[in-house]
Amino acid sequence: MVFGHSDRGRSGVVDPVTLKILVAGGFGAGKTTLVGAVSEIKPLRTEELLSEAGRPVDDIGGVEGKTTTTVAMDFGRITLREDLVLYLFGTPGQDRFWFLWDELATGALGAVVLADTRRLEDCFAAVDYFERRGIAFTVAVNCFDGATRFPEESVRDALDLDPDVPVMLCDARQRESTKSVLISVVEHAMKIAAEQRQAAGG
């Protein structure tokens, strides 16, 4: 699914390239909100109410207002251009659902790591996951109301990111803001792929 086929048939209709993008990050970072804000179809959600049984393992510090959690994935779709469609897969944030990540990551072109500066350490695992697997990603800092806003370079330093990893500020509730993040992921992944092809050819 990473690089789908794009062609213009005799009718002049374009068959778009379809790309798979993951949306990852810590518990309560806004992944479901992001997918819902940008998706042109009604997003598929697998949310369940937080329960008393989950309180010992689900740290809601800083996100006390959160009442639901993704237990499998979120799914949405956005057409960036006539010939380019992104399929979005939101990952669950809690440790106990990480076994799903390998399945969701199969065939992914790249990923968004959504960060919440109130709980920045929650996205360390996602950054590490994509670095270890060589999956291109953009870090998007979700600017929650009332949260302290830090410069992008401060976030980069705190996460110990490589210099070429894009870091952006965004509002996961806003379609255009989220769309800019997704464009960054695609451009970053394509740049890395081109550099790898060039290195292999050289």
pLDDT in tens, 153-177: 999 999 999 999 999 999 999 999 9
Q: Which residues lie closer than 8 Å to 148 by C-beta, 6 or more apart? A: 117, 118
Q: What is the mean pLDDT of residues 60-70?
A: 50
Q: In what helix (H) or strand (E) does residue 17 lie, and over which residues does it extend? A: strand 17-25
Q: Which domains does the chain have, with CATH numbers?
A: 7-201 (3.40.50.300)
From 83, 126, 80, 121, select the one nearest 105 (Cα to Cα): 126
Look at residue 10 and tell me whether its pLDDT is greater than 70. Answer: no
Q: How far, in Å, CA of 186 to CA of 87, rounded?
A: 12
Instruction: Give, as one character, the DSSP assignment of residue 149.
Output: P
Alpha carbon of residue 156 to chain centroid: 17
Which pLDDT value is given to residue 108? Answer: 96
Helix spans in 27-119 (H): 31-38, 101-105
Task: Report the predicted TM-score, pTM, of the whole model to 2 decimal places.
Answer: 0.81
Q: How far, in Å, CA of 143 to CA of 165, rounded?
A: 19
Q: What is the mean pLDDT of residues 117-130?
A: 93
Which pLDDT value is given to residue 7? Answer: 57
How many contiguous H segments (helices) and E segments (strands) does the chain have? 5, 10
Q: pLDDT-based confidence at 147, cuts 50/70/90?
A: confident
Least trusted range by pLDDT, from 12-26, 57-71, 82-96: 57-71
Q: pLDDT-based confidence at 128, cuts 50/70/90?
A: very high
CB atoms within 10 A of CB 183: 14
Q: How far, in Å, CA of 135 to CA of 107, rounded?
A: 10
Q: What percentage of residues in the chain have a pLDDT greater than 90?
A: 63
Q: How far, in Å, CA of 88 to CA of 93, rounded?
A: 15
Q: pLDDT-based confidence at 66, cuts 50/70/90?
A: very low
- The amino acid sitting at 51 is S
User: What is the average pLDDT value for the chain, to the nearest integer?
Assistant: 84
Please give the residue that has the higher pLDDT: either 180 or 26: 180
